[in-house]
Amino acid sequence: MRLVVVSNRVTIPDRHEKATAGGLAVALREALERHGGLWFGWSGVVGAARQLRETQRGNVTYAVTDLSEAERESYYLGFSNRALWPIMHYRLGLTEFQRSDYMGYLGVNRRFARELAGMIRPDDVIWIHDYHLIPLAAELRRRGVTNRIGYFHHIPWPSADTLTALPFSATLVRTLAAYDLIGMQTQLDTRNLIDCLMTLCGAKSDGRRVRLGARETVVQPFPIGIDVEAFRRLAAASARQAATPLRATRESLGERKLVIGVDRLDYSKGIVQRLEAFGQFLRSHPEERGRVGLLQIAPPSRSDVPEYAELDRMSDEVAGRLNAQLGEFDWTPIRVVKKAYSRTALAGLYRRAQVGLVTPMRDGMNLVAKEYIAAQNPVDPGVLVLSRFAGAAQQLGEALIVNPYDTHEVAEAIRTALAMPKSERIRRFEALYHVIETSGIHWWTRRYLEALTDAPAAAEDAEPPRKAGAKAEQPARRAGARNRPAVPERGEAKGAAAGAGRKRVSTPAETSHLTLVR
């Protein structure tokens, strides 16, 4: 088998990149190298020339295409990031829908399918990533691609009731039936997607397998992880070497404690609410003033989207106000740094911080939470304060779980974390470390690919170990799933599941979707 990965952005590795590439990029590259493969997607460049450019690195081909300015506006900034992103993060008030953006989104997916279809070999297994590319499999199937195709949704999936506010949501959701396997971050996302397929599209499901028309798709959670050992080593080395940002931070902090937040500058991350919560903490506990500081690292993101520009302005305003109200001539309570740092520097900063503040309003998984744990010194670890609305909270129940909408609760969790006795910090750290270690990024790629290629027993036990007593949203209605109409056994309906060598069946759903594209 050859592996074909498709993602919105593709970064072609160069010699210097090892220290900056994230765990996901590294793990996907490793999987591609293991099987031999192709990685296809947008080059990240906006230009008039849209021909495919291929670069060979070992046994992996990177095939990238530029987007035109109109495509970037409609497909990327418009439909992906002003419509899908907010609605998937439960932010109806921020969702901006334009028909022309949706047409552009479908158009780019159609173009990607056209360019990719010609490169597909019979033994390829295709793995498509994220919300930019939901209809890609339907477009590939339309071009006669019968290979196994998987999709992984990196961000949350809301309830059917929320999603229906998005025009054409039913036609878009229906295109997901073209996949053989859909991976989600959590049980909640899995349940929500299956509900959408059932209530919006009339699919039938047993809670895992979904049947829509002649197709059968498996939907299940595969919570993404990090390369724990690599990150742990990075943090330990960074602490020893005391590289520049870390040394400078240490010198400027002196004996003061450090609370750290690291996020793309995105409204889903709850940065403004977090700053307010830190201000509340200092107001409620004046004895802590001068003894602790918050460092918020927030590299700018999607700045051409108005909601992000507004967040940029608001975060400056809130940090400035709180510093002016609460700071002293020799102490600045909050530092917001809007630029990206190397992974080595971040690992060292996480290790130096007594508290990791990861409080998104909603997040698919949040790998910063896992990186913070991996970076800790096992004999004197810091404490993770984690939003109950991050997918990671489903696994990391030994963190201090908070509701990010409740400023007082977050403020008190900061206080609890700073005052926590060492024995309890170690106990919590060990439990959390065990979870992230046993469900790391290599576990994730292996389990997903085994399930996609239908290896024995792979799909059944994809849920990793999880700490008992996790207080976050529980996979509540699991029993309810059992009450849903059962899916007929494989083979009951002819051509039920697509797979290599099977004949392609065009469903009415695809047809109506494609009418719309044209």
* Contacts to ligand F6P by CB under 6 A: 8-9, 130, 154-155, 301-302
CB of 404 vs ligand F6P, minimal distance in Å? 18
Count of all residues that appear for the chain in the document: 518
- Residue 403 · residue 388 · CB < 8 Å: yes
What does the block give as tokens for 218? 């498996």
CB of 207 vs ligand F6P, minimal distance in Å? 25
Nearer to ligand F6P, 110 or 154 (CB): 154
- Residue 125 · residue 1 · CB < 8 Å: yes
Residue 216: name the closest of 502, 498, 501, 449 by CA. Answer: 498
**Number of residue whose CB is nearest ligand F6P:** 154
SS (H, E, C) 411-450: HHHHHHHHHCCHHHHHHHHHHHHHHHHHCCHHHHHHHHHH
Nearer to ligand F6P, 312 or 454 (CB): 312
Residues belonging to the active site: 154, 363
CB of 9 vs ligand F6P, minimal distance in Å? 5
Q: What angle do CA 399, 402, 408 make, to 5 degrees?
A: 130
Strand partners, 294: 259, 334
Nearer to ligand F6P, 101 or 216 (CB): 101
CA distance 102 to 85: 13
Nearer to ligand F6P, 306 or 485 (CB): 306
CB of 300 vs ligand F6P, minimal distance in Å? 10
- Residue 104 · residue 133 · CB < 8 Å: no
Nearer to ligand F6P, 55 or 303 (CB): 303
CA distance 375 to 345: 11
Count Cβ atoms below 10 Å from residue 128 Cβ, excluding itself: 27
CB of 45 vs ligand F6P, minimal distance in Å? 13
CB of 151 vs ligand F6P, minimal distance in Å? 13
Nearer to ligand F6P, 2 or 154 (CB): 154
Please enumerate in sequence order all residues whose Cβ is within 8 A of that of 204, keeping only pairs 6 or more positions apart, or say none: 198, 210, 211, 212, 484, 485, 486, 487
CA distance 4 to 183: 16
What does the block give as tokens for 505? 């069946």
Nearer to ligand F6P, 41 or 245 (CB): 41
CB of 455 vs ligand F6P, minimal distance in Å? 26
